[in-house]
Structure 1
Amino acid sequence: MAEKSLQDVLGSNASQTSTQIFLDKTDIGLSPSESHSADQIISAIAITAKPILNQAQFDAEYEQKVYISEGFKSFTSKNDGTNDIEHRVDQIVINLAKEDDTSLNPEDY
């Protein structure tokens, strides 16, 4: 198996230049809109990548340095200014693997 490409993970319309990354929102599960929050965009990327950058793919491909796995499901309360509102928490764990080094640099993965 080969390491997955940007298009393999984030859709056939994903591309990049030396300074920019381009994603088609519909490729990552978002509706066409100019008003998505950063939370929604980051969530969409993680949810879309999760079935492709999985543990089995990571184990099979030496060059792959990132895999995404399920975390724990839980509940928490958040206050909206007036009331405590129960929220379900679904963890998606992004695992970054490299030879032993204590720094976190995205260009190492």
Structure 2
Amino acid sequence: MIMKKISLLAVAFALVGLGAQAQGNAANTTQAVQQTTPQGQQNKQKITLEELPEAVKTAVTGGEYKEWTVGEVHKLQPAEAGAAAIYEVQLLNKEQEQPVVVRYDEAGNVVQG
């Protein structure tokens, strides 16, 4: 009888430990996502290729990545009032398994970050 109670307690502690570890992993994943977001960018809105400014469309379809396939496109609104939006374009070529994400300013220039 005592052994059953000890066994049940051991199982309970193991389950609590696994739950805490899962929560820790979720927190680490959230931190990793937040770190990859450019500073000052808070509002990420999914848009279509057609909704991009003309300069950005020209840069995507006629520049270095003209042979690549366009995936998701996002408009990143800055937190600061008056700051320009950044356009994030996901691109994939035949040799790449992982998409490449390129960020452009409204003039079609590639931006870092």
Please state which band the TM-score falls in when normalised by the shorter chain. under 0.3
Scaled by the length of structure 2, the TM-score of the pair is: 0.24
Higher relative contact order (CA 8 A, sep 6+): 2
Scaled by the length of structure 1, the TM-score of the pair is: 0.24
**Structure ranking higher in helix proportion:** 2
